[in-house]
Amino acid sequence: MTPATLAAKRYATKVFDPERRLAEEDFEQLRQVMRLAPSSVNSQPWHFIVASSVEGKTKLANAAAPMGTAMAYNHNKILHASHSVVFCAKQTIDDDYLTKLAEQESVDGRYSSPEARAQYETTRRSAVSLHREALNDVPIWTSHQLYLNIGACLMAAAQLGIDALPMEGIDSDGIDKAFDLSNQGLKAHAIVCFGYAAQEDFNAGVPKSRLAEHDIFTNI
């Protein structure tokens, strides 16, 4: 299946079948996509909370979409999906973290020499300094990297025949509190539910609609 065909086929699942679970090997593929997704200067400024047990999904649903609130419409989606994953972004990028990245890159053989490591570290620290000091927008920058990850995961799920739903209609502050994210330097931005659509999923047969190419492309 071509990438364009895959993009045309995938859709946002609105009703999940609670009786169907992902095979462990399939979710492991998604975990690896989360881990290997691209990020600016290989900053990897993310953390993932994976809720797959009944207890875990219940805790997440109660925090993210409490019944009786405006977000309650997402409560059962979190519960009924096979796996519901919170995508969190780092709120700061400190020097210790940059050193940790460089050490891991060394272990993984990314540098051909100490000089190559020093050169790349200088480049990365310069980019991070831009966001820490000149632009003062680290939380915004890291959230942009996080959404690159979400996009990669949605396409990977489609390739595996797994249905998915990205959602921002959640109480992110409630998630932060329930999982003590602020004290870990993290912020919840979105949840992606992975599983299989129920037969009654009303969105499954709705034709995909996008703006015409002439509205969104400029050829120069």
Has 14 been annotated as catalytic?
Answer: yes
* Phi and psi at residue 71, to the nearest 5°: -90, 0
Contact by Cβ (8 Å): 132, 138: yes
Instruction: Exactly one of 14, 57, 90, 187 is catalytic; name it.
Output: 14
Crossing angle between the packed helical segments 138-159 and 24-36, to the nearest 10 degrees: 150
How would you class 130 by CB atoms within 10 Å of its CB: exposed for 0-12, middle for 13-18, buried for 19 or more?
middle
Instruction: Exactly one of 9, 100, 168, 177 is catalytic; name it.
Output: 168
Has 9 been annotated as catalytic?
Answer: no
Residue with tokens 């390739």, as numbered in its chain: 159
Has 57 been annotated as catalytic?
Answer: no
Instruction: Exactly one of 57, 77, 90, 187 is catalytic; name it.
Output: 77
Q: Who contacts 77 (Cβ-Cβ below 8 Å, separation ≥6)?
A: 14, 15, 16, 65, 84, 165, 167, 193
Tell me which residues are annotated as active site. Answer: 14, 77, 168
